[in-house]
Amino acid sequence: MPKIIGHRGAKGEYPENTLGGFKKAIEAGVGGIELDVHLTKDNELAVIHDEDVDRTTNGKGLVREMTLGQLKKFDAGNRERIPSLQGAISVIKHAGIFLAVEIKCRNAEQKVVEAIDSSGMTKDTIVKSFDHRIVRNLKKINPKIKTACLLVGLPVHAYKILGDANADAISINCDTVDKELIDECHKYGKEVFVWNIDDKKKLKKYSDMGADYIGTNFPSIVKL
């Protein structure tokens, strides 16, 4: 059975990338949480998807131009605050589930690896990015870190992409994945993370295909 991963916590049910959203997903019974990180002005890791705070908070401005303390003053919905990566890891580790971190900016690799290693979550984490240079760098920093290449479309040669980035998995949109791709990855000892599956029927479909991780915006489907 694949691990069901709450995408940005419980994005479809609660403010995304917040501690409350992570807790809601955990209560629903997910096997892991996926979150996004950006570097702040004071070189801290903030859990937020966009490069600015405009869409997800009552503030305005670029994440990289504000300190973590400044970011935490914004309301991220339901009086939630933008968490630090360390704060998010604490909640996820306490729940005993898997962590998936998507790096959304350059030069964050070292900080991300340090946060994961210092928390004792190295064996229970996968770090991914659309920028495959970041994926390569992660392995250079710590070869034990599990990594994934994010892809939007179906790759022609999945194994070549994974080999070039020295990655352990691909993370791909469900609309472009098929069993042939999953089987090819498994043949070479690689894993497949499929996103985003938001109903029970699709959940079963991709589970039957053999996906290793399935991301969802609606963790409550786990209980259906």
Note whether 196 and 174 are within 8 A (CB).
yes
Query: Which residues on neighbouring strands pair with residue 52, listed in sequence order?
Result: 62
Strand ranges inside 8-106, DSSP E: 32-39, 45-47, 98-103
- Does 94 participate in catalysis according to the annotation? no
Catalytic residue among 7, 38, 94, 186: 7
Q: Are 70 and 136 in contact (CB under 8 A)?
A: no
Q: Output the six-digit token pair for 45.
A: 């890791």
| 8 A C-beta contact, residue 99 and residue 125 | yes
Report the candidate in 142, 147, 91 with the shortest Cα–Cα distance to residue 119.
Answer: 91
Cβ pair 29, 218 in contact under 8 A: no
Is the omega angle on the peptide bond into residue 217 within 30 degrees of 0, that is, cis? no
Which residue type sits at 6? G
49 catalytic per annotation = yes
Give percent helix, percent strand, percent coil of the chain, each to the nearest 5.
40, 20, 40
- Residues marked active site are found at 7, 49
